[in-house]
């Protein structure tokens, strides 16, 4: 496979474009995704290639966008909808939770909802309290939804292919600050199975489970920790539903220590779920220190850039947590 370095944003666009060339049932809909290219420019150039029938600008109504996607999916289409900011998922909540997630089950499998909801999440852009949240735990709580959080361009392309192939609704969280990061991505289409975690860095002293942008912060922390003689293993679950419990359990059995890091508010965050999985698993007997969760502070994301940074875990926080856990 030929690879080249492209950005996360380009990887998402490429996955959609390749799929749309192959499968004419796939189309995208959302606010300003046409000529404007979407809030972050992900769909830029797509309307020129695929035309306004398959790259559909919508009114500013997330409920309507989601409802249209659910309806078209039920009729056999494979829609990809884009919500400009994942905060607005609240407006689409009924369509997602009560329709998309339930329909296949309630019709005994006779109908299916093969749709992908793509949406940028996270803070760091100065977009303040209503445009910076990480609400993935809400989605993860609903049976019938799959929840994906890619952290690299490579993962984004492969996971989006898997999401588009899936016959169930998939919530695909793209992190705003990751759009401009790049990695080697194959030109051809490929698929990364949902529910397979990726060990981003192998280590022996502590397991750091990190999601989305925190994967990069964890890797940075691991780099620093290595100089202090601490070998950290960084696991990116990539999809929080389904969650690759096995990989995390095996890692904790190996290291005996666990740090979970996510940007979302710690209280009620997916970190608690991951910790719970470990506490219930055979890895419990291998735990050699209390588990530490790092998550966002219990505050709305502030507009002030310094406070915005302080509201979520940063590299020094991860280093400190590891050092508290690993005594070397």
- Choose between 22 and 288: whose C-beta lies nearer to another protein: 288
Shortest distance, position 254 Cβ to another protein, whole Å: 11
- Choose between 279 and 310: whose C-beta lies nearer to another protein: 279
Quote the CA–CA distance of 73 and 103 in Å, as a whole number: 11
Quote the CA–CA distance of 270 and 137 in Å, as a whole number: 5
From the candidates 131, 175, 216, 262, which is the catalytic residue?
A: 131
Quote the CA–CA distance of 283 and 287 in Å, as a whole number: 7
Query: What are the residues binding another protein (CB under 8 A)?
Result: 256, 284-289, 327
The pairing of beta strand 3-7 with beta strand 116-121:
unpaired
Q: What is the phi-psi region of residue 37: left when phi exceeds 0, alpha when psi lies from -120 to 50, beta otherwise?
A: left
Q: What is the dihedral of CA 66, 69, 73, 74, to 10 degrees?
A: 60
Does the active-site annotation cover 216?
Answer: no
CA distances from 37 to 32, 57, 132, 327 (A): 6, 10, 20, 50
Quote the CA–CA distance of 57 and 34 in Å, as a whole number: 6
Other beta carbons within 10 angstroms of residue 143's beta carbon come to: 8
Shortest distance, position 325 Cβ to another protein, whole Å: 10
Shortest distance, position 274 Cβ to another protein, whole Å: 17
Shortest distance, position 284 Cβ to another protein, whole Å: 5
- Choose between 277 and 289: whose C-beta lies nearer to another protein: 289
- Choose between 180 and 324: whose C-beta lies nearer to another protein: 324
Catalytic residue set: 131
């Amino acid at each position: 496979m030929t690879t080249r370095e492209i950005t996360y944003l380009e990887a998402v666009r490429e996955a959609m474009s390749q799929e749309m060339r192959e499968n004419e049932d796939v189309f995208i809909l959302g606010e300003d995704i046409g000529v404007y290219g979407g809030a972050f420019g992900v769909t830029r150039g797509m309307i020129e290639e695929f035309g306004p029938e398959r790259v559909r600008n919508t009114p500013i109504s997330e409920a309507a966008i989601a409802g249209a996607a659910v309806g078209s999916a039920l009729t056999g289409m494979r829609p990809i909808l884009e919500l400009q900011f994942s905060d607005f998922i609240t407006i689409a909540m009924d369509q997602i939770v009560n329709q998309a997630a339930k329909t296949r089950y309630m019709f005994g499998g006779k109908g299916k909802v093969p749709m992908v909801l793509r949406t940028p999440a996270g803070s760091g852009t100065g977009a303040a309290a209503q445009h910076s949240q990480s609400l993935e735990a809400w989605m993860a709580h609903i049976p019938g939804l799959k929840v994906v959080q890619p952290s690299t361009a490579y993962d984004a392309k492969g996971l989006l292919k898997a999401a588009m192939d899936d016959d169930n609704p998939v919530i695909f969280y793209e992190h705003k600050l990751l759009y401009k990061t790049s990695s080697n991505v194959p030109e051809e289409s490929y698929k990364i199975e949902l529910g397979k975690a990726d060990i981003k860095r192998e280590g022996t002293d502590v397991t750091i489970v990190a999601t989305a942008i925190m994967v990069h912060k964890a890797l940075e922390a691991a780099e620093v920790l290595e100089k202090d003689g601490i070998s950290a293993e960084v696991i990116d679950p990539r999809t929080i539903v389904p969650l690759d419990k096995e990989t995390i359990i095996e890692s904790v059995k190996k290291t005996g220590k666990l740090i979970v890091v996510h940007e979302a508010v710690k209280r009620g965050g997916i970190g608690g779920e991951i910790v719970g999985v470990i506490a219930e698993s055979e890895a419990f007997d291998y735990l050699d220190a209390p588990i530490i969760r790092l998550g966002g502070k219990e505050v709305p994301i502030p507009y002030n850039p310094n406070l915005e940074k302080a509201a979520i875990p940063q590299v020094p926080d991860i280093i400190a947590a590891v050092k508290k856990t690993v005594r070397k």
